[in-house]
Chain A
């Protein structure tokens, strides 16, 4: 990525030298990573939502398009929503071409992100492995792998011996609850440090002049006819040339403030983490037949999750029954996990769109835009989502990669339904 990057870095560029200098001075010279900005009366672009997607959008608006009179308004604190609640998995091995292009675009940005932002987002391409539990699973994985490789995306089909060499702790016995027949791995997939992604984008956007405004909840929109001219917030009204909604989880609520109804339902999804242990799982283990995903954080905790709760909810807490299901799946796949203590479980609110794919583009009101509907898979898309959304906001036209994900696709029968279940968010 090249951009008109500022070298201002008011708190100093992060580097090994700065770290060394800090060590000599007792690390007392480090300042804030971004300013605590006060809302101004007006901006060219106001982005609603200070999650990683919104912050990335602001960063790319400033760095790629030179639009720096931008505010990001966040109802809570940076990284306090879904950005800090996901299981940090990054991959691009989807089944359908539009999603492959979208996530591969994002993965390529992940690969250079720490350097681009001068912030260690701890992107760790440790491999993202899908398990196959049956002949049907293996056929499906082979089909997907073929389509990925035809698109130029790495995918490797593995037999059971190869999986055993990679993750010896899986239960390979023939009597296993979910017998393992093989798998498919994307070696370039992996994990990243979710908080660092938000902080890194916030700092880099702030450095380019973007106002990151926390504790500022949107309460309404200012309209002139069918044109949006600003927002009402808990910290006063802010005029804006363009208003960009980027609040996945709460898209329905925020669009509702503008009188719009979206093909999105908000559902909760849980995850949990165990006590930190020595390295035992050095790849990302996923089973799409079970909807189970397990990885080990760099701190040592085993991070895992399961199914969404299955009914609409904005409550950031989940049902114990679903949590128990998720734990049972993980223990059945990796029996050694039964010896670990769970230290934390949490829940995030996911924007479940009606075809399982995100919605990026125009809304029926002029100067109002949407980036949402990421279901339970938004984290991996963070850099690409921000990059493509910024393109749309800056040029007024969708980027070719984002174009298939517009809102009219539902009415026009162009849904991108990866799972093939139709407009039933609770069955996804």
Chain B
């Protein structure tokens, strides 16, 4: 279990949050087909740290960016996300 420090609500239990996608998988609206496919389908999927988009679904419903280690589950950084980068 992880304790996620929501920038709006403070530290809350992981079960309140939903994983959405990786930070680098948001397809720009003007992306060319090849770039759009790569962004949509290809993942680094590292056994290490990755930037991820999560949502505080059962809390403030705000969108967050987490930098999280996928082996240790250590959360390196949390920051709020604005509409500009949302899918």
Contact = CB atoms under 8 A, between A and B. Distances in A.
Interface string A340-358: 0000000000000010000
A253 B19 contact: no
Nearest to B19: A311
Interface residues of B, number: 26
Interface in A232-281: 250-253, 256, 261-266
B37 A410 contact: yes
Nearest to A320: B1
A261 B42 contact: yes
A256 B45 contact: yes
A209 interface: no
Interface residues of chain B: helix, strand, loop or mixed (majority): mixed
A320 B14 CA distance: 11
A325 to B, nearest CB: 10
Contacts, number: 71
Interface string A393-428: 000000000000000001100000000000110100
A196 to B, nearest CB: 29
A304 B46 CA distance: 29
Interface residues of A, number: 26
Contacts of B41: 263, 354, 410-411, 423
Nearest to A254: B47
A270 to B, nearest CB: 13
A317 to B, nearest CB: 9
Nearest to B54: A311
A253 B43 contact: no
Contacts of B52: 311-312
Interface of A: 250-253, 256, 261-266, 310-315, 319-321, 354, 410-411, 423-424, 426
18 contacts: A252-B45, A256-B47, A261-B42, A262-B45, A263-B41, A263-B42, A264-B43, A266-B70, A311-B19, A311-B52, A311-B54, A313-B70, A315-B73, A319-B1, A319-B15, A354-B41, A411-B34, A411-B37
Interface of B: 1, 14-15, 18-22, 34, 37-38, 40-47, 50, 52, 54, 70-73
